[in-house]
A and B are shown apart, each in its own frame.
Chain A
Amino acid sequence: MHQWTFVIAAYAVTLLGTAAVSLISWRSMHRAEAQAETLANRP
C-alpha cells in the first residue's frame, strides 16, 4: 500500500473519533441544560 494511505487512514480515524465525541458531548450538555431550564421556569 502507498504510504499516504496509512496517513489518511490514521487522520480519518482521529477525525471521526473526535467529531463523534464532540457531537455527543455537546448534545447531551445542550439537552440537559435545556431540560433544567424548562423545569426551573415551571411554576
Chain B
Amino acid sequence: MPYWPCRARAAKDAALMHRFANPARFLKIARPLTGWLFWSGLVLLLAGCACGLFLTPADYLQGQTVRILYIHVPTAWLGMAGWTGIAVSALMQLVWRHPLAAVAGRAIAAPGALFTAICLATGSIWGRPTWGTWWEWDGRMTSMLVLLFLYLGYIALANASARQGAGQGGVSNVTAIFGLVGAINIPIINRSVVWWNSLHQGPSITLRGSSIDMALLWPLGLTLLGFSLWFGAIVLMRMRAILAQNKVEARMQRLARG
C-alpha cells in the first residue's frame, strides 16, 4: 500500500477519536447512556443471579456451591477488563494526548479494584467447600492479588497527581505509564492456570467452546452482560463527576481572580 493512504487513514482515525474529546459532546451522549446502562445492567444481572440460584441444577461434584460461578466469573472478567481499559486509556493519553483518556483511566480504577476484591472474596468462599482451604498461594490467586495491589497503587498515584493539578482532573504521565506497565499482569493471570500447577481449574471457557454443561452455563451470559453494562454505567458516573469537579474548580479560579 502506498505511503499516503496510510497517513490519510491514520488522520481519519485520529479525527474520529478526537471527535469525542470535547467534554460537552461527550456529556451529551454520556448523560442518557448512564441511566440506560445502569438499569439494563441491573435487570440483567438480577435475572441472571435469580436463574443461577433457583433454576439451574446443582453440580454433581460441587453441589450447590457451583452457583457462585455466576458472580465469580463476571467479577474476575471485569477486574481484568478494567485494567485493560486503564492501559488503553493510558496509551491514548501518552500517544494521542486525548483529554478524556486520563479521566476515563481514573474513573475505571475504583470499580475495577472493587471487582477484583469481590473476585478474590468470592473465590475464597468458593474454595473452602471445594478445595478445603480459603486461600492457596498459587499462580491464579497470587496474580489476582497482585492485580488488586496494582489497582490500589494506581488509585493512590492518580489521586496524588489529581491533587497536584495534573491536566483537566486526569492523571499524570507517570500514573499513565504505571497503568501501561501493569498490563503485563493481565496475560499472566489468564495463562497462570496453564503455566503453573494450581488448585484452580484450567480454562473452562475458551474461543473454541466451553467445558461447562449448557444446563449450568446459560445464566452466566446474563450476569456477564449485566455486570459489564453496570460497570460501564459506574465508569460514566465517575467520569461525569470528575468533569463536573473540573468545571467547578475552573469557575472558582475565575471568580477568585475577579
Q: Which residues of A contact B (CB under 8 A)?
A: 1, 3-4, 6-7, 9-11, 13-14, 17-18, 21-22, 25-26, 28-29, 31-33, 35-36, 39-40
Q: Indicate if the CB atoms of A17 and B114 lie closer than 8 Å.
A: yes
Q: Indicate if the CB atoms of A14 and B71 lie closer than 8 Å.
A: yes
Q: Indicate if the CB atoms of B126 and A18 lie closer than 8 Å.
A: no
Q: Give, as a whole number of angstroms, the nearest-CB distance from B222 to chain A.
A: 15
Contacting residue for A36 out of B125, B238, B248, CB 8 A = B248
Chain B neighbourhood of A40, CB < 8 A:
247, 251
Count, A-B residue pairs, CB within 8 A: 89
- Tell me which of B64, B238, B241 has the highest count of chain A C-beta atoms within 10 A of its own C-beta: B241
Separation of A7 and B63 alpha carbons in the complex (Å): 11
Separation of A28 and B235 alpha carbons in the complex (Å): 12
Separation of A7 and B122 alpha carbons in the complex (Å): 9
Q: State how many residues of chain B have any CB contact under 8 Å with chain A.
A: 36
Q: List 18 A-B contacts (CB under 8 A).
A: A1-B129, A6-B65, A6-B128, A7-B53, A7-B68, A10-B71, A10-B125, A11-B71, A14-B75, A17-B118, A18-B114, A21-B111, A25-B237, A25-B241, A28-B238, A32-B240, A32-B244, A36-B248
Separation of A25 and B118 alpha carbons in the complex (Å): 17
Question: Residue of A at shortest CB range from B230?
Answer: A18
Separation of A36 and B125 alpha carbons in the complex (Å): 43
Separation of A4 and B128 alpha carbons in the complex (Å): 13
Separation of A18 and B240 alpha carbons in the complex (Å): 19
Separation of A32 and B246 alpha carbons in the complex (Å): 9
Chain B neighbourhood of A11, CB < 8 A:
49, 53, 68, 71
8 Å CB contacts to A: which residues of B73-127?
A: 75, 110-111, 114, 117-118, 121-122, 125-126
Q: Indicate if the CB atoms of B71 and A32 lie closer than 8 Å.
A: no
Q: Indicate if the CB atoms of A33 and B125 lie closer than 8 Å.
A: no
Chain A neighbourhood of B238, CB < 8 A:
25, 28-29
Separation of A33 and B75 alpha carbons in the complex (Å): 29
Q: Indicate if the CB atoms of A39 and B71 lie closer than 8 Å.
A: no
Q: Is B234 an interface residue (CB 8 A)?
A: yes
Separation of A2 and B128 alpha carbons in the complex (Å): 12
8 Å CB contacts to A: which residues of B1-52?
A: 38, 49
